[in-house]
Amino acid sequence: MRPKFKYIDVVFENCICIRFLPKDIRFLYIGGISKYIWSNGTLYTNEQQSEYVTISFYNSAFLRGTDQLENLDETDSLKYHLDNYHDITHISIYDLEGNEEYISVPWKNSKDNEFSNLWEKVEYDDDYFTITIEKPKVV
């Protein structure tokens, strides 16, 4: 079955992003999506926000990079970034017709570090890795 998207961008807090192709992705699930509009009379934004994101990548996705994450050494690698920064802010999905879905992920910063998301978790397996970002359910 052919995927319905051309690629996705994972956007980090410092606005850099890494582009992943369908062949990099085992599965993608984004749930609890709501839309909001914000304006102050001059500026206007229309954004989608999620309550749950999970993306599972094949390990070959570690080869993807940007001008700032080119896997030059261990501290420049995507794995190092995921393990140490926890700063994914958005997932941008580009469909085959060129349309974009720009979706913010759930975010909870600590008192000590507003640039790191406490809700972002990464798990590694032999052949793939999975990123989960989930807003806890209120009981």
pLDDT tens, the chain, 139 aa long: 566 899 999 999 988 889 999 999 999 999 999 998 878 888 777 889 999 999 999 998 987 765 455 545 555 678 888 999 999 999 999 999 999 999 999 999 988 889 999 999 999 999 999 999 998 887 7
In a domain? residue 39: yes
In a domain, 90, yes or no: yes
- Stated pTM of the model: 0.86
112: domain range?
5-134
DSSP for 76-90, please give it. GSHHHHHHHT--EEE
Residue recorded with tokens 């509009």? 37
Q: Is residue 139 included in any domain, yes or no?
A: no
Q: How many domains does the chain have?
A: 1
Which structure tokens are listed for 15? 């606005």
Flag whether 128 is in a domain: yes
38 found inside a domain: yes
Q: How far is CA 12 from CA 9, 17, 18, 115, in A?
A: 10, 6, 8, 10
